[in-house]
Amino acid sequence: MGFEICRQLASSGLTVVLTARDEKKGTEAVEKLRGLGLSDVVFHQLEITEPASVARLADFVRNKFGKLHVLINNAGSMGVSMEVSHQAAVKEIMRSGKDQNEIAEWLKQRTTQSTEQAEECVRINYHGTKNVTEALLPLVRSSSDGRIVNVTSSSGLLRFFTGEELRQELSSVDTLTKQRLDELSALLLEDLRRGELKLERRGWPTDRVYAAYQASKALVCAYTRVLARESGAALRVNCVHPGYVETDMNCNTGKLTAAEGAAVSVAVALAEHGGVTGAYFDRTEVASFV
C-alpha cells in the first residue's frame, strides 16, 4: 500500500520522498514509478526504529527541500507469524464465500506471536511512528498548510480494551500528554512480557495474538489526537483506517486493493484547506475512536 500512496501523491503533482527499510526494494519502487512517468520521486532509506536513521531522513529533507507539506506514516507491523503453508490455501479460503470476520478468524487460528514479536510490534507501530513524526514536525510546520496522516486500524479502537480506567485515560485528549503515552507504552511492553493476566489487570486488549497490535494502534490514535491538540490550526493531523486491504500482512486476504486502501490516506492528506484535525477516519468517514 505504501507504493500506491506514493504513486497517487506523485500523480497529484507532489514531489515525493519514498522511504523503505530495504534500500534495494526502495530503489526498485522509485524506478517503477519513474517508468510510469512519475519523475518527481526520490528514495531515502529509513528504519523507523533506529533514531540515527530517522535523523538522517530529517536532515535529507531539510537540506534538499527546506520543508515538508505532507507526511503519511504508513509503516506498520502485526508482530506475528502466520502458519499458512502456501498461497493455494489462501485462494481456497477466499473462494469459500466466508465473510471478512470469518476469514480473519481463519487466519488467527494459524497465527502465533512470541514476546519478542509483540515488543517489535509496539516499537514499530507506536515508537517508530512517533519518532519519525517528531523528527519531521518542524519541517511540516514550515509549510503553510502542513498535514500529517497516521495509517492505523479499526483494531486500535478503544472498545477492545478490557479496563474502563485505561479506556477513559486514552480518551481524555484534553489532558493526555506525549510523556504519558510513552509511559503507557513502557507499561504495555512490561505487561506483554508478563502475559495475558497482567494485560487484563491493567486493562489492555487481551487477544492472544493481536493484543500488541491493537494496543499499539490505539496509542497511535491517542498520539494523533494529542499532536492535533498541541498544533491547533497550524497543522492538520488525522489517523486513517484504510479498510481490510490486500497486503502481505494478512496473506493477501483483504477485500480492498492496495490502490483502494491508499486512496483513503491520500484523500485525507490532500483535503481542501480548513478541514478537520484530530479525527479518526474509517475509510472516508469520520468515526469514533471508541
* Cell 500488541 -> residue: 212
* Cell 507491523 -> residue: 77
Catalytic residue among 213, 223, 244, 280: 213
Rounded to whole angstroms, the Cα distance separating 93 from 106 reads 8
Alpha helices in the chain (DSSP H): 2-11, 23-35, 51-64, 87-95, 100-108, 115-122, 129-141, 164-171, 178-194, 196-202, 211-231, 258-269
For the question of residue 213 being annotated catalytic, the response is: yes
> CB within 8 A of 18, min separation 6: which ones?
2, 3, 6, 26, 29, 30, 33, 41, 42, 43, 44
* Residues marked as catalytic: 213
